[in-house]
Amino acid sequence: MLIKNIKSLLQTSSPTKALRGKSMSEMKSIENAWLLIENDIIKNFGSMDTCPDFNGETIDAIGKIVLPTWCDSHTHLVFSTSREEEFEMRLKGKSYQEIAQAGGGILNSAKKLQNTSEDDLFKSAFQRLHEVMKLGTGAIEIKSGYGLSVEGELKMLRVIKRLKEKSPIPIKANFLGAHSYPAEYKDDHQGYINLIVNEMLPQIAKEGLADYIDAFCEKVAFSVSDTEQIIKAGAKYGLKAKIHTNQFNCMGGIELCVENNALSVDHLEVVNDAEIECLKNSETIATLLPSAPFFLSDPYQPGRKLVDEGVAVALASDYNPGSSPSGNMNLVVSLACVKLKMTPEEAINAATINGAFAMELNEEYGSISKGKKANFILTKKIPSVAYIPYAFGSNLIDQVIINGKSI
Ligand code: NIG
Ligand code: FE
């Protein structure tokens, strides 16, 4: 397939490390371009004065922009049912943390998941996966964490495994047994950690069900030393850490993650100068999830400052029923510009190539490069790159191409 007369072909570099600092605002692109796809792979591209003769399927993209599909490196896409009852409680004044402490929140989702079959979980998650693909997502990470028991966590991870087998886009599985303490372990935190370490992890490793390990490091959830036990136990099975931290409190989670070479630290609504210093001297990626503070009316992540200080920043949706019931990466990119004060180029880089690095998928995804998978978004006719985050809420996508095929 040949796409010709592309107004602008975005992000044509293939960096070997996650972008940071000034490089986040650089977006190599070609104006008035062509792009040639062979099967599911990007074969070649260039400017129209070098366009090859081609007899196969040809798309005329006059006035349209082509960019890599979104790489959404943090989601909780597998869950039982929505939680709009808690949304309404929050509208009447209860906070997310109060609802969690009263047994709602994550525990509410865990209760619902217990009574949902593996088949039903698969069906609803598969539907959500297609929903986000149509919104331009071309690679995704999915967490467990609503099981909170040996059977529950294995059930979720087996659903993710089935999704991987059926999905046209790559999926990374992240084991989040340490999402919340189940009620029966309310006064025996070590007992639950032991269950994760001694029973869940060995079985998960045996079945090859996880690529990464996660924990919710927060006052309402796992302490820094609890999180340390989880990270170290995961490392024994070769699982790198991608950790929820600094959503509500600075507790030392970032330092712990950096010391343990975590692939990413995710959320970061609150982050202090010492933590920024620690992050910028590390390879750990800061994955910002602006739709969570949007939905919870919390303070936004200091995106501008993190970029200026030289931290590698990625953007993800956090798609989940409690804090971000949307997997729309177009909205995430708009929020990153409007609320986190990132530029359109920085936000698009953070949501594509840096997201790919945060899932270790950068060799095949995240940019328009020869030999990479042909996963890209073809926009409608739009005036400029900045129009993408500017026209928030409008659907600017004409076609999403996955593995060389329009979906
Ligand atoms: O990333 N904060 C922890 N976990 C999820 C929310 C989970 C939920 O509320 O169901 C998050 O925001
Ligand atoms: Fe999350």
- The string of pLDDT tens digits covering residues 20-75 is 999 999 999 999 999 999 999 999 999 999 999 999 999 999 999 999 999 999 99
Residues 31 and 92 in one domain: no
**What is the structure's pLDDT at 377?**
98
Residues 291 and 384 in one domain: no
As given in the structure block, the two tokens for residue 107 are 């525990």
Nearest CA, atom 12, ligand 1? 323
The answer to whether residues 223 and 180 touch, using CB atoms and an 8 Å cutoff, is: no
Phi, psi (5° rounding) for residue 19? -70, 145
Q: From the alpha carbon of 109, which atom of ligand 1 is closest? A: 10
**What is the structure's pLDDT at 222?**
98
Nearest CA, atom 8, ligand 1? 322
The answer to whether residues 7 and 64 touch, using CB atoms and an 8 Å cutoff, is: yes
Residue 362 maps to a domain: no
Residue 214 maps to a domain: yes
Q: What is the DSSP code (8-state) at residue 55?
A: -
Full residue range of the structural domain in which residue 25 is found: 2-68+368-406
Residue 302 maps to a domain: yes
Count the Cβ atoms, other than its own, within 10 Å of residue 24: 26
**What is the structure's pLDDT at 23?**
97
Q: Is 244 in the pocket of ligand 1 (CB under 6 A)?
A: yes
Residues 325 and 179 in one domain: yes
Residues 391 and 299 in one domain: no
CA of 192 to the centre of ligand 2 (A): 20
83, 107, 113, 179: which to mutate for ligand 1, most atoms within 8 A of CB? 179
pLDDT digits (tens, 9 = 90+) for 185-229: 999 999 999 999 999 999 999 999 999 999 999 999 999 999 999
Given pLDDT bands bounded at 50, 70 and 90, which one contains residue 103?
A: confident
Report how far apart the first and last C-alpha atoms of the chain are (Å, whole number): 14
Q: Is 336 in the pocket of ligand 1 (CB under 6 A)?
A: no
**What is the structure's pLDDT at 371?**
98
CA of 222 to the centre of ligand 1 (A): 13
**What is the structure's pLDDT at 102?**
87
Q: Is 4 in the pocket of ligand 1 (CB under 6 A)?
A: no
- Nearest residue to 176 via CA among 145, 212, 220, 207: 145
pLDDT digits (tens, 9 = 90+) for 110-148: 999 999 999 999 999 999 999 999 999 999 999 999 999
Residues 251 and 386 in one domain: no
Q: Is 321 in the pocket of ligand 1 (CB under 6 A)?
A: yes
Count the Cβ atoms, other than its own, within 10 Å of residue 273: 9
Q: Is 292 in the pocket of ligand 1 (CB under 6 A)?
A: yes
Q: What is the CATH number of the domain that holds 191?
A: 3.20.20.140
Residues 161 and 175 in one domain: yes
Residues 156 and 247 in one domain: yes
Q: Is 242 in the pocket of ligand 1 (CB under 6 A)?
A: no
Residue 101 clears pLDDT 90, i.e. is over it: no
Residue 136 maps to a domain: yes
**What is the structure's pLDDT at 118?**
98
Residues 178 and 86 in one domain: yes
CA of 255 to the centre of ligand 1 (A): 21
Residues 269 and 340 in one domain: yes
The answer to whether residues 393 and 57 touch, using CB atoms and an 8 Å cutoff, is: no
Instruction: Determine the average pLDDT of the residues in 163-182.
Output: 98
Residue 223 maps to a domain: yes
Average pLDDT, the chain: 97
As given in the structure block, the two tokens for residue 157 are 């991870």
Instruction: Determine the average pLDDT of the residues in 273-278.
Output: 98
Residue 212: strand pairing partners: 174, 240
Instruction: Determine the average pLDDT of the residues in 291-313.
Output: 98
CA of 322 to the centre of ligand 1 (A): 6
DSSP calls for 222-282: B-HHHHHHHHHHHHHTTPEEEEEE-SS--SSHHHHHHHTT-SEEEE-SS--HHHHHHHHTS
- Nearest residue to 12 via CA among 65, 84, 87, 80: 65
Identify the domain boundary among 357, 377, 398: 357
pTM of the model: 0.98
Residues 381 and 301 in one domain: no
Residues 39 and 59 in one domain: yes
Q: From the alpha carbon of 247, which atom of ligand 1 is closest? A: 2
Give the number of domains in the chain: 2
Residue 363 maps to a domain: no
Q: Is 108 in the pocket of ligand 1 (CB under 6 A)?
A: no
Q: What is the CATH number of the domain that holds 375?
A: 2.30.40.10
CA of 61 to the centre of ligand 2 (A): 36
Helix or strand holding residue 3 (H, E): strand 2-10
Q: Is 105 in the pocket of ligand 1 (CB under 6 A)?
A: yes
Q: Is 247 in the pocket of ligand 1 (CB under 6 A)?
A: yes
Q: From the alpha carbon of 108, which atom of ligand 1 is closest? A: 10
Tokens 């600094």 map to which residue?
A: 246
Residues 233 and 347 in one domain: yes
CA of 379 to the centre of ligand 1 (A): 31
